[in-house]
Amino acid sequence: MGAAAIGIARQRNLFGVVLLSGIYSFLMATVLVVLDAVDVAMTEAAVGAGISTVLLLGAIHLAGGTESRPIHKPWLPLFVVVVTGGMLVYGTLGLPAFSDPQAPIHQHVAPSYLKEGPVRTGVPNVVTAVLASYRGFDTLGETTVVFTAGIGVIALLRRRKPRHKYPARADGDGGEGAK
Amino acid sequence: MSFAGHYSYFVTILLLMVGLFIVIARSSLIKKLVGLGLFQTAVYLLYIAPGKLIGGVAPIIGDAFEVYSNPLPHVLILTAIVVGVATLALGLALVVRIKEAYGSIEEEEILALDADDELRTRNRS
């Protein structure tokens, strides 16, 4: 996965970049399955590897496919990125180790959701129970975000030249398929 | 603290760094958006990885299982993925409009065109 990510950084043909990001998304989905996040993995495979790739390919088709050779030397951004990474590594040293049952994340409200969620909502999948039942309004707000983004995309792409071969893509609302 | 115990954090940080580097250093606007996506997936990993318990199963309750991984990060990240693709769609639409207006999606060329424009208006007045 790291190789795919660094490949994205080095590849200048944007078509290659899009393919690599699709591969990266599938690898990420696999990792998420291993981490027991099956719902997230399914969404990532459908949205990250599917819809995002389609959107990116459409954009490349409309906006052209190669990146010019960089003018600046990459040393300053590299320095900034390495300093940021170093600070983040320093920050993680105080965090609990991987899969530590005593970590605060497993002690706080999660056990009560796991115990009461299926009883109160009647849904055995706790992720679904929390998403649709406990946090139903949050999910409604999220749908509003996707709707607003779809309207934004249509508003931006509506004033196209009529001689263009392809009509405006109403692609922004593609995200709705995820839920 | 051991290296193995924090390995997931280090992978996350590596991906985060690559995404940040693409956003800062690469000139193509589409590639910047891909980098932003990379950064986002790193954040997913940052949330999901601490929720895993070794020996646990996915949080779908059944009689056969005792230990479940933490479901709450999964819920948050599901929302984040969907909002992320909405952002991506809007960003790509902006890129397409920029391409129509400037004829380029390279940051440097767009900045040069802008500077030219400004110089011309100043000379005229």
Of A48, A67, A138, the CB nearest to B81: A48
Does residue A166 sit within a domain?
yes
Q: Does A77 touch chain B (CB under 8 A)?
A: yes
Q: Do B15 and A1 lie within an 8 Å CB cutoff?
A: yes
Work out the end-to-end distance of chain B between its first and last CA atoms, rounded to an integer number of angstroms: 66
Q: Does B64 touch chain A (CB under 8 A)?
A: no
Domain boundary among A26, A45, A69: A69
Segment B68-73 long-range contacts (CB within 8 Å, at least 24 positions apart): B68/A36, B68/A114, B68/A126, B69/A35, B69/A36, B69/A37, B70/A105, B70/A106, B70/A110, B71/A110, B71/A113, B71/A114, B71/A117, B71/A126, B71/A127, B71/A130, B72/A109, B72/A110, B72/A113, B72/A130, B73/A37, B73/A105, B73/B47, B73/B48
ipTM of the assembly?
A: 0.80
**Four-CA torsion B99, B102, B107, B112, nearest 10 degrees:** 170
Q: Is the pLDDT of residue A26 over 50?
A: yes
Domain boundary among A19, A49, A69: A69
Does residue A75 sit within a domain?
no
Does residue A156 sit within a domain?
yes
pLDDT at A65: 66
CA distance A72 to B118: 23
Does residue A102 sit within a domain?
no
What 8-state DSSP symbol labels residue B95? H
Q: Which domains does chain B have, with CATH numbers?
A: 4-124 (1.10.287.3510)
pLDDT digits 0-9 by tens, A135-169: 788 888 888 988 998 898 888 887 665 554 455 55
- Name chain A contacts of B54, Cβ cutoff 8 Å: 99
Cβ count within 10 A of residue A66: 13
Does residue A111 sit within a domain?
no
Per the structure, how many domains does chain A have? 2
Domain boundary among A53, A69, A85: A69
Cβ count within 10 A of residue A177: 13
- Name chain B contacts of A21, Cβ cutoff 8 Å: 34, 37-38
pLDDT at A174: 43
pLDDT digits 0-9 by tens, A49-101: 888 888 888 888 887 766 666 666 778 888 888 888 888 888 888 777 776 77
Q: Do A21 and B38 lie within an 8 Å CB cutoff?
A: yes
pLDDT tens string, chain B, 125 residues long: the values are: 566 677 778 888 888 888 888 888 877 888 888 888 889 888 988 888 887 777 777 777 777 777 777 888 888 888 888 888 888 889 888 888 888 888 777 777 888 888 888 888 888 76
Q: Which domain holds residue A32?
A: 1-69
